[in-house]
Structure 1
Amino acid sequence: MQPRRIVLATHNAHKVEELTRILGPALDGLELVAYDGPEPVEDGATFQENALIKARAAAAHTGLPALADDSGICVDALDGAPGIHSARYAGTRVDADNVAHLLEQLGDASDRSAQFACAAAFVDGDDELVELALWPGTVLSEPVGGGGFGYDPIFKPEGLSVSAAELRPDEKNAISHRALAFGVLMPQVRERLVTS
């Protein structure tokens, strides 16, 4: 039997790679295909709204069921910023610029608690699902580690003594916000696309 095709609504190569590894066995019977359509305007007020905007656009453009996620870092001392603006926080979409800007904004604040948030969405016609997960931790005073991407070098997950950028991909993919959100979403997706 041919695997059921499902489009991943992102142009971010890091995210495609990471999600393919995260989803692993959950993709059994499904074929993840890249999205080559236009990027929608992400004008939602929450991670959930933006994830659904992306999934709806990819589903409409391709005619396939679509997966999308919207994620970012929320820093308590910055009232939850950068939040949904994480990817463009410094105005450049360059990871190193965003990290530097966040550290500058945070300064020497004593409260460095933060969490990565991820909303994972699925859209297939009128059928829509979205799940939100949080990965708590703290913001380090400077970048550490060469792995991961985005804010990983300055994020120390709760209960660990290393930054997210020091984790091996398989370690990060077992516990990250993205893994948590898709871990809840994918059984529901499989129920609709594989076992129905």
Structure 2
Amino acid sequence: MIELIFATNNAHKLEEVQAMVGEQFLLKSLADIDCHDDIPETGVTFHENAKQKTDYLVHKYDVNCFGDDSGLEIDALNGEPGVYSARYSGTRDMEQNINLVLENLKDSVNRNARFKTVISLYLNGHQHFFEGSVEGHIIDKRKGIDGFGYDPIFVPHGYAHTFAEMTAEDKNKISHRAIAIEKMVEFLSKKS
């Protein structure tokens, strides 16, 4: 079994990703290695932020690990909130972040958007990157109670429900993170 440190303390995200990778991999959170540091995310791209996370863990703990950076890109907002998705309103309060997106889109006809994920994997001295994205659109009011982040206002193309209305199992089949994780798992399966 391959053990990997996932650069997160978000229990929901850890659970979601563990379900995706299956039992051949044991994922541990930052708390599991007693890391309570606020790992910097100062990059201007998802790629840079994901790399910063793994670079930090490798430098401080010398572990096999992966980190991701994800966000929502909205065409009418020139790609915003993008890398600032978690703190778009100036806070980490997702209600405020969603409110700001809806306010900024109130006069927009073009509501096309995509969720993007970039994963940086550091394994046995080498760094690898995996990307995933899912196209969709932003609706004008929240729907659903599951998921997290912008899930209540994002409907993927080809579906009638938001990510927050889908079961975790259904979302994990099509989400940006699922696509990137699937690419990473395929890569790791060849290594094990």
| TM-score bucket (shorter structure) | over 0.9
Gaps of 5+ in 2: none
Matches within 5 A, 1:82-93: 82-93=81-92
- Aligned pair count reads 188
Counterpart-to-counterpart distance in 2, 1:19 and 1:60: 24
Given the alignment, which residue of 21, 25, 33 partners 2:28? 33
Q: CA offsets, 1:88-120, max 9 Å, x none?
A: 001120111111111111112000000000001
Q: Is the 8 A contact 1:72 1:87 kept in 2?
A: yes
Q: Is the 8 A contact 1:59 1:124 kept in 2?
A: no
| Greater mean alpha carbon deviation, residues 179-188 or residues 121-130 | 121-130
Moved over 6 A (4+): none
Name the TM-score, length of structure 2 as normaliser.
Answer: 0.93
Partner of 2:6: 8
Aligned-partner SS, 2:147 = coil
Gaps of 5+ in 1: none
CA RMSD across the alignment: 1.3
Partner of 2:65: 66
Aligned-partner SS, 1:22 = helix
Amino acid at match of 2:18: T
Partner of 1:128: 127
Counterpart-to-counterpart distance in 2, 1:153 and 1:75: 15
Q: State the Cα distance separating 1:125 from its structure 2 match.
A: 5.4
Q: CA offsets, 1:15-63, max 9 Å, x none?
A: 1111111222xx41x3211113223211112111111111221233332
Counterpart-to-counterpart distance in 2, 1:23 and 1:88: 28
Name the TM-score, length of structure 1 as normaliser.
Answer: 0.91
Aligned-partner SS, 2:84 = helix
